[in-house]
Amino acid sequence: MAERENFLFWRLAYFLIAESGYRIIRITEDHSEIWFENIKNKNARMLRMVRSDLDWANWVERDKQMVAVQADKLRKQLFARNLNMLNIYVTSHPPIDADEDYLEKQIIAGQGKTKLSTIVLTRQNYSQSFLKIGETLGKQPMFDIQNDYDDAEIYMLSQGVLKKAAQQENEDRQLFEFTKPLFTYIFIAIQVLVFFILEANGGSTNMETLVKYGAKYNPLIIEGEWWRFITPIFLHIGFLHLVMNTLALYYLGSAVEKMFGHWRFLGIYLFSGFTGALASFIFSENISAGASGAIFGCFGALLYLGFAYPQLFFRTMGMNVIVLIIINLIFGFTVPGIDNAGHIGGLIGGFLSTGAVHFPKKRNLKGQAIFLCAMVIISVSMINIGYHDDRPDVMNGIVQEKIKNGKVEEAYNMLAPYVSEGKGNAITFFQLSYLEIQLKKYKSAKQHLLNAIKLQPDFHEAYFNLALLYYEEQDILKAREYAQKANSISSQKKYQEFLQEIGD
């Protein structure tokens, strides 16, 4: 009687889902085929069970080939290097035209990366098949099989399995929908408001306005304006920049805040913005602003979902998240003017801060402590590098700020010893020459301009300043030579006018 096989099918399903750590990922409408997954079981990460009375071996062979192809597609979707899958047929009797060894022959797919093992569980081989299942799963099915079962008993068992699967699905849904967004909308409102304030006070693309309202500007950070690690999150350079980041924040921020709750999201977002600005401070001398670092932190939060719940991550949004991150990083590396250091810093900050706060109503104290320590160590190390590494771009920025404020002697006294120690780049030498010209140290100014040209042969401003110095010394030939060089690199009106004045 088929009731025994029906009971066995559902009892094995219950064993897998309630006792062996498997989750149901697919089930047919008639409940005759169920797919399971357990990422922790390397011997059988995927498991498929079919309740069907098998008549002919060729049907089994075609079915196994089809399952192997589907399993290999799943392996690629899960970014798994290898995938072992167990395929179980629960049937009253084996096909009449093949023996057990033929039916259970392993199938290899995906150039050896996907392996499909099969067990045909019949009335004649319960004990033997249970042993094979136990060897593969690392846990032996332990239940007795009677000769007969009534429909009510089988129904109750099947409902128990389906109820357990529904509970797992509900837990997954609750993980994604812990609360409704709040701070996402607050941050959107703030950045839109700040944009209009910038537009009304010089323009959001005006560098002086951006610096005035808190953009990341290395010299002022070095001078002590530490809040510029946070304020850039709310500034945007131009309307398109605002629109793109607002849309990204709306979709990504909402997803992350729904998942982690208001206060966790607040911490993740602000810390990601901080680490993004900090990375930009270390690796980029350009003025920068925007919520991109914090938004990449939201990507980092979603990656933490993949770290904590890889099965759920790759069954839902995993592939899309990874592809979006890769596309954005490639775009950042190939398009000029994009602060990819800030993006990567925000991504790392989002991942670490999410690990430190973990999920609402869930605890992982050891893991959270490790992530918190990583946050502190990385932040302190990056701050130490940023503030104490006397790299040229930082020194150049500080000197430029002092020149702008008319502190010529102070800038010179800072830059001259720096250069004498063998440090600096072409911009450093150029700035020092400018200060020396202001202080009437013409001889050393010329030498530093020559050093700048040596380091950067296309430095047309340095060529032109040399031309002006030689002109002041009445050396017209040298003045013309350097002016022509400057004009050949960058044909500017002032270069052409100067050449006309000295008789090109």
Strands 83-90 and 107-109: unpaired
Helices 426-438 and 460-472, packing angle to 10 deg: 30
Tokens at 5, concatenated: 């096989």
The secondary structure of 391-422 as a DSSP string is: -HHHHHHHHHHHHHTT-HHHHHHHHHHHHHTT
Placement of tokens 């939201």 in the chain: 298
Instruction: Report the C-alpha gap between 313 and 255 in whole angstroms.
Output: 13
Instruction: Report the C-alpha gap between 117 and 371 in whole angstroms.
Output: 39
Q: Is the distance from CB of 168 to CB of 27 less than 8 angstroms?
A: no
3-class DSSP state for residue 110?
Answer: coil
Tokens at 235, concatenated: 């500034």
Active-site residue, selected from the candidate residues 292, 358, 433, 460? 292
What DSSP character marks residue 114?
E
Instruction: Report the C-alpha gap between 156 and 148 in whole angstroms.
Output: 15
Instruction: Report the C-alpha gap between 455 and 458 in whole angstroms.
Output: 9
Instruction: Report the C-alpha gap between 256 and 421 in whole angstroms.
Output: 49
Number of alpha helices (DSSP H) and beta strands (DSSP E) in the chain: 23, 6
Instruction: Report the C-alpha gap between 202 and 185 in whole angstroms.
Output: 26
Given its phi and psi angles, is residue 203 left (phi above 0), alpha (psi -120 to 50 degrees) or beta?
Answer: left
With a CB cutoff of 8 Å and minimum separation 6, the contacts of 17 are: 23, 24, 36, 161, 164, 165, 168
Instruction: Report the C-alpha gap between 139 and 433 in whole angstroms.
Output: 77
Q: Is the distance from CB of 305 to CB of 228 less than 8 angstroms?
A: no
Instruction: Report the C-alpha gap between 77 and 170 in whole angstroms.
Output: 23
Helices 292-308 and 318-334, packing angle to 10 deg: 150
Whether 343 is a known active-site residue: answer yes
Whether 292 is a known active-site residue: answer yes
- Which residue type does 39 have? I
Instruction: Report the C-alpha gap between 21 and 35 in whole angstroms.
Output: 13
Instruction: Report the C-alpha gap between 400 and 390 in whole angstroms.
Output: 15
Active-site residue, selected from the candidate residues 236, 241, 343, 460? 343
Other C-beta atoms lying within 10 Å of the C-beta of residue 91: 20
For residue 1, what are the CA distances in angstroms to 91, 143, 146, 157? 11, 19, 11, 18
Name the β-bridge partners of 89: 50, 120
Could you give the residue numbers annotated as active site? 292, 343
